[in-house]
Amino acid sequence: MKISTKGRYALRMLLDLAQHSAEGYVALKDIAERQDISKKYLEQIVPLLNKSGLLRTNRGYQGGYMLAKPAEQYTVGEILRVTEGNLCPVACLQYEKNDCPRAADCMTLFVWKGLYKSITDYLDGISLQDIMDHSIESGNFCI
């Protein structure tokens, strides 16, 4: 499994919004400048985040974006599922019902299931707030 720039940039965008939540709605151009990400690229990510209910938007003067809920309620796993589609390490685990004709006899299926469980448990156990807290503790403020 490889996380795309879309997933990484969405995480950075939401972290930026969390860090600047006291400012209210934040302009996309400000996020783009702080994160050194193309505004056009962020404009492609916003609809995914907006449609999934992760963002609140306000148009017009003083418009921009803000988190729809507190930072501690966002998990890295949730954000990556919105942007990446799923976190499955192999295609046969993408759906609840495994349609692979070899599933019943697959010697390695338990390996992929275990990996998938480890990935989801880990990423679902980290919130935006956890990342910000870790950043403060470690002195690493680069997103």
pLDDT digits (tens, 9 = 90+) for 25-83: 999 999 999 999 999 999 999 999 999 999 999 988 888 999 999 999 999 999 999 99
Structure tokens at 138: 């470690």
Domain residues for the domain of 112 are 5-138
Dihedrals phi, psi of 78, to nearest 5 degrees: -60, -45
**Is residue 142 over pLDDT 80?**
no
30: in domain: yes
Q: How high is the pLDDT of residue 84?
A: 94
104: in domain: yes
98: in domain: yes
Structure tokens at 96: 């609840």
Q: How high is the pLDDT of residue 141?
A: 66
User: Number of folded domains in the chain?
Assistant: 1
Q: How high is the pLDDT of residue 12?
A: 97
List, in order, residues 6 or more apart from 14 with CB less than 8 Å away.
Answer: 49, 54, 67, 74, 79, 128
16: in domain: yes
**Is residue 114 over pLDDT 70?**
yes
**Is residue 143 over pLDDT 70?**
no
Please report, for the domain that includes residue 118, its CATH number. 1.10.10.10
| Percent of the chain residues topping a pLDDT of 70 | 98
Structure tokens at 34: 């702080």
**Is residue 7 over pLDDT 90?**
yes
143: in domain: no
